[in-house]
Structure 1
Amino acid sequence: MLPSEQVDLTFHRRVRSPSDRVAFAFVKVLRFFADTFFAKRYGNRAVVLETVAAVPGMVAATLNHLKSLRRMRDDDGWIRTLLDEAENERMHLMTFIEIAQPNGFERLLVLIVQGIFYNAFFVLYLVAPATAHRVVGYFEEEAVVSYTAYLAEIEAGRHPDVPAPEIARRYWNLAPDATLRDVVVAVRADEAGHRDVNHAFADELARVPAHLRQQAGRAG
């Protein structure tokens, strides 16, 4: 088993506060619309969702950068982590555009969704950054679920296991004969990492004690 396949697929950060409930409900609404419009169309679904996923890291990095300048204090590595996340999600999008080849309507949908979500997340991060990171944490939990289902379709032969695009082979340093399955495994591992980081950031901003973080992080 490749290291990228060794991710916790069952992790769920349990809802513990009103802020958590708002974040969880918001993500479930997004999940409903994704399931409604892109049922079983995993590649096209990934294009739209990765457009959304690439926004929070950039917004949060920008606002933390400005806060660091205003306070004249170090950011403890948050900005670089968030910028890396944004770049990683952008590469997910570039990869799935090669695979899914979205049509004109889907490209228009990407523009609309990005415009709405960018501004909404910007305001949310200004008002409640802990909730904003919790939204991303729950969003990434759903991403892990979605990519696991995508992987199951490929392994069952219900979705063509096409060759990995060159951009994906370069970015993840995949073998020359890598396929879509290898790409999905790598992307799922990325999403699991973003999930854990954003839940940790939300806990830190909310000042959640370490022992409660462990309890809240148990699946169930």
Structure 2
Amino acid sequence: MNEVSEIRPKHHKPEGISDRIAYATVRFLRFFADLFFSGRYGNRAVVLETVAAVPGMVGGTIQHLNSLRRLKDDDGWIHTLLDEAENERMHLLTFIEVARPNWFERTLIIIAQGVFYNAFFLLYLVSSKTAHRVVGYLEEEAVYSYTEYLEGVDSGKYENIPAPQIAIDYWNLPKDARLREVIIAVRADEAKHRDVNHGFADTLKSNARD
């Protein structure tokens, strides 16, 4: 648990125009998330985790179809991406218990999911490398946000409420676990997704050069 709790934000320096576009896009989205949610990290997590669960499903679907069409193995990408989508969905279900979304946020979820799914699907078709880089940068921001959330809990700014039962079951947390342990577990997941997606982008970049 100590190794997980020591995870900190890190940044992949953009290389080339597609990386810069991906990074600028994510920073643009971060600006509006900060503007709208301010310090309401629980509510922020509910909306953003809804969006975060989209890329893995989109990528897994397209990689699945590519594997069938090309009659080639996927080298484990499909399983990894679908696991990512499921993991992000569990983040969402957990934070629904922490911060109950109101009707406006539920409407925002529907709109954000519809827009982002279609936009990401098209991006993945045009440039899967850029799509994975976008996700890598999104996950960088997620790690940063959850680190801020954790610092807020540690400082007493946010109440360290009991962990939802769904989180205790999913991450095998102690029965008396609190919100702090949930944030640490979620942040560790986001750090893993960050590294995996940047790795996928690097692989696709390398393959394009061969």
TM-score higher than 0.5: yes
Match of 1:170 in 2: 169
Q: How many angstroms apart in 2 are the aligned matches of 1:208 and 1:187?
A: 32
Match of 2:85 in 1: 86
Match of 2:95 in 1: 96
After TM superposition, list the pairs within 5 Å mapping 1:16-165 onto structure 2.
Answer: 16-165=15-164
Residues 1:147 and 1:72: Cα distance change in structure 2 (over 3 Å): same
Q: How many angstroms apart in 1 are the aligned matches of 2:9 and 2:118?
A: 31
Identity of aligned residues (%): 65
Match of 1:217 in 2: none
Deviation of 1:11 (Å): 1.7
TM-score (norm 1): 0.93
Residue type of the alignment partner of 2:172? N
Gaps of 5+ in 1: 210-220
Q: How many angstroms apart in 1 are the aligned matches of 2:207 and 2:167?
A: 37
Q: Deviations over 1:126-174 (max 9, x none)?
A: 0000000000000000000000000000000110000000000000000
Deviation of 1:5 (Å): 1.2
Gaps of 5+ in 2: none
Match of 1:4 in 2: 4
Moved more, 200-209 or 67-76: 200-209
Q: How many angstroms apart in 2 are the aligned matches of 1:10 and 1:87?
A: 23
Q: How many angstroms apart in 2 are the aligned matches of 1:10 and 1:158?
A: 21
Alignment check: 8 A CA contact 2:63 2:74 kept: yes
Over the residues paired in the alignment, what is the CA RMSD in angstroms?
1.2
Residue type of the alignment partner of 1:64? Q
Q: How many angstroms apart in 1 are the aligned matches of 2:41 and 2:9?
A: 20
Q: How many angstroms apart in 2 are the aligned matches of 1:64 and 1:208?
A: 16
Q: How many angstroms apart in 1 are the aligned matches of 2:76 and 2:88?
A: 19
TM-score (norm 2): 0.97
May I ask how many residue pairs the two structures share in their alignment?
A: 208
Deviation of 1:178 (Å): 0.2
Deviation of 1:208 (Å): 7.6
Q: How many angstroms apart in 1 are the aligned matches of 2:187 and 2:32?
A: 21
Residues 1:99 and 1:10: Cα distance change in structure 2 (over 3 Å): closer
Residues 1:160 and 1:111: Cα distance change in structure 2 (over 3 Å): same
Residue type of the alignment partner of 1:28? R
Alignment check: 8 A CA contact 2:9 2:143 kept: no
Residues 1:192 and 1:14: Cα distance change in structure 2 (over 3 Å): same
Deviation of 1:4 (Å): 1.9
Residues 1:17 and 1:95: Cα distance change in structure 2 (over 3 Å): same
